[in-house]
């Protein structure tokens, strides 16, 4: 049973989420032979003011 926990900085549209889920699920099916019905995906949208890279908050680059 594959479990993917994707964390992204900021918000995704519903269409973006659907496309990510579709492609990740297909990749696991194609590469690892995992049936879509056994693949779990969680998308965590992290506020850009709670995430940093290179010593700066992501929100500082907005």
Residues in the chain: 62
- The domain that holds 37 is classified in CATH as 3.30.429.10
Residue 36 is a catalytic residue? no
13-26: pLDDT as tens digits:
999 999 999 999 99
pTM of the model: 0.85
How many structural domains are present in the chain?
1
**pLDDT confidence of residue 52:** 93
CA–CA gap between residue 30 and residue 3 (Å, rounded): 16
Residue with the bigger pLDDT between 61 and 20: it is: 20
> Can you spell out the DSSP letters for 36-49?
GGG-EEEEEEE-GG
**pLDDT confidence of residue 62:** 76
Burial, 27: exposed, middle or buried (Cβ in 10 Å; 0-12, 13-18, 19+)? middle
Q: Among 1, 2, 28, 41, which one carries the catalytic annotation?
A: 2
**pLDDT confidence of residue 49:** 95
Contact criterion met (CB below 8 Å) for 40 and 50 = no
Percent of the chain with pLDDT over 70: 100
Print the domain residue range for 41.
3-61
**pLDDT confidence of residue 61:** 77
């Amino acid at each position: 049973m594959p479990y993917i926990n994707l964390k992204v900085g900021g918000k995704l549209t519903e269409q973006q989420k659907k496309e990510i889920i579709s492609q990740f699920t297909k990749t696991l099916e194609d590469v690892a032979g995992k049936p879509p019905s056994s693949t779990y995906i969680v998308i965590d949208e992290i506020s850009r003011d709670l995430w940093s890279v290179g010593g700066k908050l992501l929100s500082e680059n907005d």
